[in-house]
Structure 1
């Protein structure tokens, strides 16, 4: 016989004590909420216990003698009214929004839907197709965190499964799992590259959309969240969520931070016709944004069917509690927020003074971790690059696009390219942020790989089952003369060279550099620029064969080492004319300061700049030549010494270390030169 009593209304979720387990859930409009306890296999509902109502809409119950590991779910009864946005259906087993672990698998069936069709109440019980929430006794993370400064950060965006699924030096039972990422072979690879932070694509528990599973596809990326607290169980060898924390601890022991990509903008419950899994059956109007209409209509600023209503205080609390949990219990060092504009939206639109941003800023835990915004969504006024408040960093797609266009050979790109290389002061300086607020990248999980950027002029997404209609049509890409894979060595060499050119630009730009996993391996997605549903070799990194032959690993390692030697890239502020220590000078092909006509010459496809540190009497000159023609240039000698040392070039044929004052600048090449100033201006 189960013995229970009222219990406490906070904390929400399940809380273990020596006497038993307290359960608390928020369902303000429910008439009745029941706690459902299951057997150890999650198959039989052995007890159904009425919960007690508290002020403010919280329901609770304390179950005596219940232990950690118990499996449970909720059922909520109340009004069912489309016009009012109330979808209570006692036939649906609901996941605890605060569950820290699950047991069992999610299976798609018509039983998950609240109504079939719209308006017709669905009496089918879905418990058989639902995972069960699992009682966990959370322990605070005890590892030592690296706390790497932004100026020293180099981010490696990575998919848990795809990074190691084909790795020949990792045991078969570990490939594609959290534990594989910290096996010596992969760890050493990251260390040799110079990576300081691994940014994992969504690791919150997620499910594949039904429209994908019916086509035999899966949601590979993971942007379809089922829980804000539970690690994705498919990434655990034995379903043990502690494997995630073990992974984090081992990364920290090697001075690598862990950033996770989080999706707080929408959930897997989709639109009004989507499944009822958790939030929708507890407080639909509170958790999701809806329009005031005769029928409850979801606002879809995410393009995924629903939009999380962060204006609601309990929803805001849920997200804040989730973030703190991942820092304090799971040990992560920061977050990349998918479609982050959603998190700053009120009914009036986006505001940098949203309560979410203020809550983060005043929070002693969250204000000190790495916070990265994807600064856009698909709603009205959704593009907000540069509008986020300190201390947020932002993915800078303007940087990505102009670097791609410049190396593709587009005219008229120099003025914007210079701004992006300089750290995008036009975007970030207005609210007292610096160049390190810009996350600079060439490619990410979304879009072409860097190899495909130089191999395809047209997207090839046929495998996604949408007749190639999905994905962006303009990728600022080129194919070096042949569409797709080729055995032509001249074409392949040019492709590698152009990738190197772009990488030189990335690592010699002010801002925080990020690369997508596989960039260093010349990884191709076969021209698919929206490979979110390809759980196969399209996304899995190939650690053998041609990819390794054309590896860019050593070049990336050399460039990040070079960057770290140059003090100007540790400088947290923009370099302007009145800077006492640093200077930046933009030069034309005659080594004279760029004139207005030079900047706006559509045919000018060469950008050269010198960054000097007067305190250390050191200067670096970067030459980016996207023109196909060779050009003889004379290097400046004053106030520099009479020689420049070539630290890196994408030009294969060049092997000299010290450059002559006059030399041939080859077409489509990038160069990094270093020189000493003749005298220390601070002496």
Structure 2
């Protein structure tokens, strides 16, 4: 903690620092802040408790758009913030207001969580100083980064996880740790991940975020973290120890053979639309950091659905984004999943593989070797770009999710689409010379129905979100077995479990990289809510006391089969070519499927042939068992089935079976 007497704080000129934000240098701390259209940037210093502003010092130097200065005698622990003087001209995109205290966008630690307050959005004429409402940035040591210049190994099984919801009700985790990154290092968590066979944990956003402004009045809070303020600082609720907590987590997981992927929100911030807060980028240079309409500089472009869009085609924003990614890599993370990733490639003319941010990432010798996963859509014009991201990006395959759901729901003429997804989605990724591993296959994710709700609700039930059930996806391709909602009836419960197991088997037997959302193996429910972003409460945290043990074991078995049989995870698309052919599609009676028969199929088989083994995947979505005729020139052993059946030559109703040549 810095204990220098208050009267000695003075700012001094300095050469332009190599790094942005606050950097420890010989003799003090150098500060560098971007503001092209701002007139004066003030460094605001606070007492050791972070409660009282003790100095307001204008940065004395300006080199182009960078304002900078040196604070002699300062060191780690110093609490500070920023203010910027400049024009308040919303019609021109300028929203400078020196009454607004601003968090340094490069701060690596903040001293308290963000809380929404209407004063954060008050106009300058209101004269409200927001210092009591805004977290302080904290100067931190910068440990040497961990080099990751070698290519990261491909994931075998990604497990998407929300830190708080995963740990808050875990009976074997000490209560003080629950809801934090440290809780994820507890032995019971590591044991569960090891049992499942997880190769990579994908953490939902852990950077500091703020609730959307309409939530507090509804008694709700953001549960997912997709509303960041700063791209470098961990949310202190999840990481009270700052970067140390993430470094420790990555180290422990690396020892256990598990990689950590961060879900990164580089498309918008919690400052929202023109009625939103001024807490960081808006007050530093709204016209530069956010995209505005070319014919109306005062109108924010909203390609995100969150009120505005980061201008990721501009050099200062690209630098901030890549600096943030390098920072997280230095903490030990294996890679990133990019929320609303289409924004990364947006130019004034539309989406491009050659957009500046892609170019910056792919030329960086570290970032280019990280795991890079895009959510390949946003809500803007032409926003759905599945299959169009540059290598080595992988992509969340929403077509996989929808086609698999529709097949198992019973939609007509879906067998051909299912076959394409099982074979690795060459229609989406093959033309650009990307293999099946470009496809992140999933059936349920954080956003949408849980796996259990997918088969228990034909329609969404989002009333708890306070928006009269208007929010969330209106067509989730879901279905209910027997009746809508929870049911204790044994027949209904059995039918739902049967369908879930069939969906899980489909996921793990498809080429591509499987992703499972934490808790779907436990039987988690959101009570039909397919947009539970605002449900940070015990009812929506994972219920470990009622975990479905048999389903956990089934997922673990499927993951084991993938690890032990390379034929299931080969990095090539199935073509039906070769001698013998790599793939043969059969009807259950053992005869080949001809083109006109795909339309009406409820049951089908896929024979896979590799250098060292042959396998057969048999699928029956019908409600009656069918006889199965296996190729006669082979001796087959059934390795797994999603439904119990004593007869190896029968394919149970609503099931998936896997056979291996003995």
TM tier, smaller:
over 0.9
1:629 Cα offset (Å): 2.1
- Residue 443 of structure 2: aligned partner: 442
TM-superposed deviation, 1:146: 11
Whole-angstrom CA distance in 1 between matches of 2:360 and 2:475: 38
Superposed CA deviations along residues 326-353 of structure 1, whole A, max 9, x for unmatched, are 002x111010000000000001110111
Which of these residues, 117, 125, 137, is aligned with residue 121 of structure 1?
125
* Residue 141 (structure 1) shift: 4.4
2:310 is the counterpart of 1:311: no
> 1:552 corresponds to which residue?
551
Pair 1:392 & 2:370 matched = no
TM-aligned CA deviation for residue 514 of structure 1: 0.4
1:625 to 620, 629, 642: 620
The verdict on how the C-alpha distance between 1:592 and 1:230 changes in structure 2, with shifts beyond 3 A counting, is same
The question of 1:596 aligning with 2:595 is answered yes
Pairing 1:69-468 to 2, within 5 Å after superposition: 69-115=77-123, 121-142=125-146, 149-150=153-154, 153-236=156-239, 238-293=240-295, 296-328=298-330, 330-468=331-469
Comparing 625-634 and 265-274, the one that deviates more: 625-634
Deviation by residue 1:384-412 (Cα, 9 ceiling, x = unmatched): 00000100000001111111111111120
Counterpart-to-counterpart distance in 2, 1:336 and 1:398: 18
Comparing 557-566 with 342-351, greater Cα deviation is found at: 557-566
For 2:28 and 2:628, the matched residues in 1 are separated by 78
The 3 A distance-change label for structure 1 pair 6 and 466 is same
CA contact (8 A) 2:29 2:71 kept: yes
Q: Is the 8 Å Cα contact of residues 586 and 608 (structure 1) preserved in structure 2?
A: yes
Deviation at 1:240, TM superposition (A): 3.8
1:145 offset after TM fit, Å?
11
Question: How far apart are the structure 2 equivalents of 1:145 and 1:82?
Answer: 44
- Per the alignment, residue 606 of structure 1 pairs with 603
- Match for residue 63 of structure 1? 71
Whole-angstrom distance in 1 between the partners of 2:357 and 2:296: 30
Counterpart contact for 2:400–2:421, Cα < 8 Å: yes
Q: Is the 8 A contact 2:264 2:338 kept in 1?
A: yes
CA–CA distance in structure 2, aligned partners of residues 503 and 181 of structure 1:
25
C-alpha distance after superposition, 1:513-548 (max 9, x if no partner): 000001110111111110000011343111113x33
Deviation at 1:241, TM superposition (A): 3.5
Distance 2:337 2:216 in 1: 27
The answer to whether the 8 A contact 1:145-1:252 is kept is: no
Could you tell me whether the CA contact under 8 Å between 1:526 and 1:538 is conserved in 2? no
- 2:51 counterpart (37, 43, 52): 43
CA distance in 2, matches of 1:304, 1:52: 36
Equivalent residue for 2:14, pick from 4, 7, 32:
7
2:653 matched to which residue of 1? 667
Q: Distance in 2 between matches of 1:595 and 1:228?
A: 53
* 2:640 paired with 1:648: yes
1:111 and 1:126 in contact (8 A); partners too? yes
1:636 aligned to 2:639? no
**Structure 1: unaligned runs, 5 residues or longer:** 677-683
CA 1:230–1:407: 2 relative to 1, 3 Å = same
- Equivalents in 1 of 2:297, 2:75: separation in Å? 43
Q: 1:489 to 1:141 in 2, by over 3 A?
A: farther
Assess, with a 3 A threshold, how the Cα gap between structure 1 residues 581 and 285 changes in structure 2: closer, same or farther: farther
1:506 is paired with a residue whose SS is helix
Is the 2:16–2:63 Cα contact (8 Å) retained in structure 1?
A: no
Partner of 1:679: none
* C-alpha displacement of 1:220: 0.5
The more displaced of 574-583 and 274-283 is 574-583
Q: Is the 8 A contact 1:89 1:114 kept in 2?
A: no
Say if 1:148 and 1:354 are closer, same or farther in 2 by CA, change over 3 A.
Answer: closer
| Kept after mapping to 1: 8 A contact 2:425/2:439 | yes
The question of whether the paired residues in 1 share the 8 Å contact of 2:169 and 2:543 is answered with yes
Please say if residues 114 and 209 of structure 2, whose CA atoms lie closer than 8 Å, have aligned partners that are also in contact: no
CA distance in 2, matches of 1:655, 1:542: 33
Checking the alignment, whether the CA contact within 8 Å between 1:291 and 1:299 is kept in structure 2 is yes
SS in 2 for 1:108: coil
* Structure 1 residue 591 displacement after superposition: 1.2
Distance in 2 between the 1:581 and 1:145 partners?
40
Aligned positions, number: 654
| Contact residue 148 and residue 257 of structure 1 kept, 8 A | no
Task: Find the aligned partners of 2:296 and 2:618 in 1 and give their Cα distance.
Answer: 62
Cα deviation for residue 111 of structure 1 reads: 2.7
| Distance change >3 Å, CA 387–CA 14, structure 1 → 2 | same
Once the 2 structures are TM-superposed, how far is the Cα of residue 191 of structure 1 from its aligned partner? 0.4
**Cα distance change of structure 1 residues 539 and 146 upon mapping to structure 2, 3 Å threshold:** farther
Q: Which residue of 2 aligns with 1:681?
A: none
Distance 1:160 1:166 in 2: 11
Distance in structure 2 (CA, Å) of the matches to 1:244 and 1:123: 39
| Pair 1:521-2:522 in alignment | yes
CA contact (8 A) 1:105 1:129 kept: no
Are the equivalent residues in 2 in contact too, given 1:147–1:257 (CA < 8 A)? Answer: no
Hey, what's the Cα distance between the residues in 2 that align with 1:482 and 1:265?
Answer: 40
| Residue 34, structure 1, aligned to residue 29, structure 2 | no
Asked whether the equivalents of residues 111 and 236 of structure 2 are also in contact (C-alpha less than 8 Å), the reply is no
- For the structure 1 residues 356 and 512, does the alpha-carbon distance in structure 2 shift closer, same or farther, using more than 3 Å as the test? same
Is 1:224–1:266's contact at 8 Å kept on the other side of the alignment?
yes
Check if 1:565 corresponds to 2:564: yes
Distance (Å, rounded) in 2 between the aligned partners of 1:146 and 1:637: 47
Cα separation, 1, equivalents of 2:367 and 2:147: 17
